[in-house]
Chain A
Amino acid sequence: MPTFEYAPAPESRAVVDIASSHGLFIGGEFVEATGGKPFKTVNPATEEVLSEVSEATADDVDAAVRAARSAYTRVWSRMSGADRGKYLYRIARILQERAREFAVLETLDNGKPIKESRDVDIPLVAAHFFYHAGWADKLGYAALGENPRPLGVVGQVIPWNFPLLMLAWKVAPALACGNTVVLKPAETTPLTALLFAEVCQQAELPPGVVNIVTGAGATGQAIVDHPGIDKLAFTGSTNVGKMIARSIAGTRKKATLELGGKGANIIFDDAPVDQAVEGIVNGIFFNQGHVCCAGSRILVQENVADEVVRRLKRRLTTLRVGDPMDKNTDVGAINSRAQLTRIEELTAAGAAEGAERWDSGCELPGTGFWFRPTVFTDVSQSHRIAQEEIFGPVVSVLTFRTPGEAVAKANNTPYGLSAGIWTEKGSRILWMADQLRAGVVWANTFNKFDPTSPFGGYKESGYGREGGRHGLEAYVKTGGDQ
């Protein structure tokens, strides 16, 4: 029993009212699906069924694409940028006003701690809409090329790890540039996207500009295959990204793919060690490690490795794992049983391959999907846990001797989404950032996101950028493009 025991501090769920079943949002209205098999979405912390959600069929997707096309040609592409901006500002303000409702719903449906949905996800969602609202009437000055114009109807498929934030990353730039969208949220986390549909209604967004269809892989495939789609934007696993790329090969469809990662968080011997330990924690235990750009590989200079690992383990014993609705929870529930199984399988492989496994030993709740923060030491590049994306609260510690070796090991992965550098030497930060083949390189911090900063990958982490001026490029055609 600790001396200073924190009493339960649960956030109230009274602020949200979850309907027992949900239709599809097509043409500005909620409509019944045409015969798909409805599925249930559960709270991963309790396994309680939250709601029943429709499965959109290919016919439903077709209706959504037609609604989006109609809204595109009749209203949205003809509207001035300034007027589009007004709608986006209005959406951003409503999201801020309803922030608590969204945060609670996100935590219930996803399992992430309320402090993260409240302090990170939802504020960033509003920030993305505000940021892109500002661009809507200034696209001609964004150095995108001559005469930037929208592409048309955009199909968007997003993952379950940051449900509403990924929606914002996709919808805000698409709308700012004058496109209309058909978006599919992940099947385990559809509820905040459906609540966002209500926000579109509340903002009186013209019907059909945003359409939201729920479902699993088949629904996503229907969007990818639909001939009326001009561009696809996908965030998710590298495997699904490859399937999408194959599906659209030879078509006129454009695509941006934001896929998996195996980010290296590189700790030099002159690093500010206490902050570096925090950086490791933020890098891999933020959002239960369900982060594509997570710092899942620690590369630590060999002469300080024992010291850093000792401090890391001590820090992990103070992480509070449990009820995501408790305001003091640091690490919440794993999003689904399937994901938990994958994490368990890969960690078992790590131990079997000879890496040293350690976890904090904290108590876990009896129901729901849980995994203790786990550290693997004595890890080699050839271990599966150093190569494959685990997408869970599991970090692999490897060592290096020189800056060149750190770069080589960091780059020795099929992925290239993120990296972190911890050193007090500014010149080394710049040199390293230049050498690392990763879309985002953080210096003396990790997992910091901002709508003004472009995000995207190298190699099997995908292509295209989201956010910032660069992110706009994916949603416009310029010059003489048809």
Chain B
Amino acid sequence: MTGLASRSRPEVPAPGSVGPPRRPYTLGVSTATDLDPTARARDILGVSRLTNSALTGWLHGLPGVDQVGCEARAAALSTRSIKTTSKAWAIDTAISMIDLTTLEGADTPGKVRGLATRALVPDPSDLSTPSPAAVCVYGDMVPFAREVIGDRGVNIAAVATAFPSGRASRAVKLADTRDAVENGADEIDMVIDRGAFLAGDYLSVFREIAETKEACGDARLKVIMETGELVTYDNVRRASWLSMLAGGDFIKTSTGKISPAATLPVTLVMLEAVRDWRDATGEMVGVKPAGGIRTSKDAIKFLVTVSEVAGEDWLTNEWFRFGASSLLNDLVLQRQKMTTGAYSGADYVADDAPSGY
């Protein structure tokens, strides 16, 4: 799991004059952490004061997304036939990208310890199986995960900011974030205020992300947009750019509590956003589809899309994650099949956190 804890960004082309179409700008900044986010946003937008109308003009100036064309592109990428050596590589890569997740009201220390143990040894019958990138739990469960994981390379992510609805005051959300970080979380998965976004109050969403990022300290921040509630691909694109502008290290589709969750076309739009953001600013931002990805076949479709849309720089768990729980079981099952040549079955995959119980 090398590179996971690193905050450094890879060498990328210098910021050029190429911006999102029709809103070109030139940048003098290098990374999200160098400047305070409002000053940086002013610089990127080319305005002297960051107002809601400045943000609205910028976000609404992004090129639109044609729904039919976007879904057709995702469907076309889904027809790639990934076999033999490439399938083996894709399965191991997908396992290493999982944020192994339990986010239930009924979570207990025992269940979280089990999940953490599973992350360390995903397949006791084959110790060459890579570990997931992280376990993802509620903030108060972080210490129980840490007991098991210690510093053995699997990160601990915690959801925060009044997950999953995000309906609480700013002070409560920031306290929630600080609490999770103090409990030892390496990564914070926040939710945006979808109500504010849909009401057009982009400045409020911006500030909330920026303040949460500050509260994270060294923890990496994933910004959950809950795309199932934003509904349109235009909204997904705007929310992605707003989250990146405010300093999110990752943009993430969903909480897993709302359907639809991580669809391939939504993830495609987000991958286009991070690709174009790097063209515009030189910075890389990660992408995390979460919820509803259950099979190896699905996971491979996402990896194909990452590779062909964002590019191979995103094909590591530093820049791409799957938020999932049962996906790991299917990946392990397929991995065993590729090793032994025969399908076993669910009872041959050790599962410490079976869903539905």
- The answer to whether B69 touches A4, judged by C-beta atoms less than 8 angstroms apart, is no
Secondary structure at chain B's binding surface: helix, strand, loop or mixed? helix
> Which of B21, B22, B68, B73 makes the CB contact (< 8 A) with A444?
B68
The CA of A307 and the CA of B280, in the complex, are separated in Å by 12
Name the distance in Å between A327's Cβ and chain B's nearest Cβ.
4
By secondary structure, the A interface counts as loop
Assess the B79–A119 pair: CB atoms within 8 A: yes
- Chain A residues within an 8 Å CB radius of B63: 270-274
- Whether the Cβ atoms of B73 and A278 lie closer than 8 Å is yes
B85 at the interface (CB under 8 A from A): yes
Over the window 69-86 of chain B, the binary record of Cβ atoms lying under 8 Å from chain A Cβ atoms (1 yes, 0 no) is 110110000011111111
Q: Mark B82-121, 1 if CB is under 8 A from A, else 0.
A: 1111110110010000000000000000000000000000
Expressed in whole angstroms, the Cα–Cα distance for A303 and B24 within the complex equals 12
Q: A5 interface residue, CB < 8 Å from B?
A: yes
- A274 vs B265: C-alpha distance in the bound complex, in angstroms? 12
A304 interface contact, C-beta 8 A: yes
On chain A, the number of residues with a Cβ less than 8 Å from chain B's Cβ atoms is: 29
Q: Which of A3, A4, A327 has the most CB of B within 10 A?
A: A4
**A275 within 8 Å of B (CB atoms):** yes
- B69's partner among A9, A327, A444 (CB-CB below 8 A) is A444
Interface contact A304-B64, CB-CB below 8 Å? no
CB distance from A342 to the nearest CB of B (A): 29
A7 to B84, CA, bound (A): 7
**Interface Cβ pair total, 8 Å cutoff:** 81
A274-B90 CB under 8 A given contacts A3-B312, A318-B308, A328-B80: no
Collect the chain A residues with CB atoms within 8 Å of residue B85's CB: 5, 7
Q: For the complex, is A252 an interface residue (Cβ under 8 Å from B)?
A: no
| Cβ-defined partner of B312 (8 Å) among A4, A115, A445 | A4
- When distances are taken between beta carbons in the complex, the residues of chain B under 8 Å from A9 are 81-83
Bound-complex Cα distance A2 to B307 (A) = 9
User: Does A246 have its Cβ within 8 Å of any Cβ on chain B?
Assistant: no
Report the minimum CB–CB distance from A261 to chain B (whole Å). Answer: 22
Contact yes or no, A445 B69, CB < 8 A: yes
Complex formed: what's the CA distance from A304 to B20 in Å?
11
Give the chain B neighbours of A6 by CB distance below 8 A.
80-82, 86
Q: Is B65 an interface residue (CB 8 A)?
A: yes
A275 touching B65 in the complex, CB below 8 Å, given contacts A7-B86, A9-B83, A328-B81: yes
**A272 contacts B69, C-beta separation under 8 Å:** yes
Q: Does A356 contact B (CB under 8 A)?
A: no
Min CB–CB distance B114 → chain A (angstroms): 32
Residues of chain B lying within 8 A (CB to CB) of residue A74: none
Residues of A within 8 A of B307 (CB): 2-4
Report how far A4 CA is from B69 CA in the complex, Å.
Answer: 25
User: Does B86 lie within 8 Å of A272, measured CB to CB?
Assistant: no
**In the complex, what residues of A have CB within 8 A of residue B65's CB?**
272, 274-275
Cα of A445 to Cα of B79 in the assembled complex, Å: 20
Instruction: List B contacts of A310 (CB < 8 A).
Output: 18
Q: How far is the CA of A328 from the CA of B77 in the complex (A)?
A: 10
Q: Which of B72, B79, B86 contacts A4, CB < 8 Å?
A: B86
Which of A8, A270, A327 contacts B64 (CB under 8 A)? Answer: A270
Most buried by A among B18, B22, B93: B22
| Contact of A47 with B by CB under 8 A | no
B43 at the interface (CB under 8 A from A): no
In the complex, B158 has a CB within 8 A of chain A: no
A271 vs B21: C-alpha distance when bound (angstroms): 10
Query: Is B140 on the interface with A (CB-CB < 8 A)?
Result: no
CB distance from B280 to the nearest CB of A (A): 12
Question: A345 contacts the other chain (Cβ, under 8 Å)?
Answer: no
A9 to B69, CA, bound (A): 26
- For the complex, give the distance between the alpha carbons of A271 and B69 in Å: 12
Q: Considering residues A3, A8, A304, A328, which has the most beta carbons from chain B within 10 angstroms of its beta carbon?
A: A3
Q: Tell me if B218 counts as interface (CB < 8 A to partner A).
A: no
Check A62 for interface membership: any CB of B closer than 8 A. Answer: no
Q: Looking at the assembled complex, report how far the CB atom of B311 sits from the nearest CB atom of chain A, in whole angstroms.
A: 9
B188 within 8 A of A: no
Give A9 to B79 CA distance when docked, in angstroms: 12
In the assembled complex, the CB of B331 is this many whole angstroms from the nearest CB of chain A, namely 16
Produce 1/0 per residue, B293-332, CB < 8 A to A. 0000000000110011000100100000000000000000
Please name all residues of chain B whose beta carbon is closer than 8 Å to the beta carbon of A198 when the two chains form the complex.
Answer: none
Q: Is the CB of A272 within 8 A of B18?
A: no
Q: A307's closest neighbor in chain B, by CB?
A: B21
Question: Which residues of chain B are near A307, meaning CB under 8 Å?
Answer: 18, 21
Minimum CB–CB distance from B277 to chain A (whole Å) comes to: 14
- Given the complex of chains A and B, what is the CA–CA distance between A176 and B307 in angstroms? 47
Q: A3-B312, A278-B73, A310-B18 are in contact. Are A272 and B81 (CB under 8 A)?
A: no
Asked if A279 is at the interface (CB within 8 A of a chain B CB), the reply is yes
Point out the residues of chain B lying under 8 angstroms from A7, CB to CB.
Answer: 82-87
B83 → chain A closest CB, angstroms: 5
A427 to B354, CA, bound (A): 54
Q: Does B182 lie at the interface of the complex (its beta carbon under 8 Å from any beta carbon of A)?
A: no
Top 4 A-B pairs ranked by shortest CB distance? Answer: A275-B69, A9-B81, A327-B81, A272-B66
Binding site for A on B (CB under 8 A): 18, 21-22, 63-66, 68-70, 72-73, 79-87, 89-90, 93, 272, 303-304, 307-308, 312, 315
Q: A9-B83, A270-B64, A274-B65 are in contact. List 9 more A-B contacts (CB 8 A).
A: A2-B312, A6-B81, A7-B83, A9-B81, A270-B63, A274-B63, A318-B308, A328-B80, A444-B69
16 residue pairs bridging A and B, Cβ less than 8 Å apart: A4-B303, A4-B312, A7-B83, A7-B86, A9-B83, A269-B22, A271-B64, A272-B63, A273-B63, A274-B65, A275-B66, A275-B73, A304-B21, A318-B308, A327-B80, A328-B81
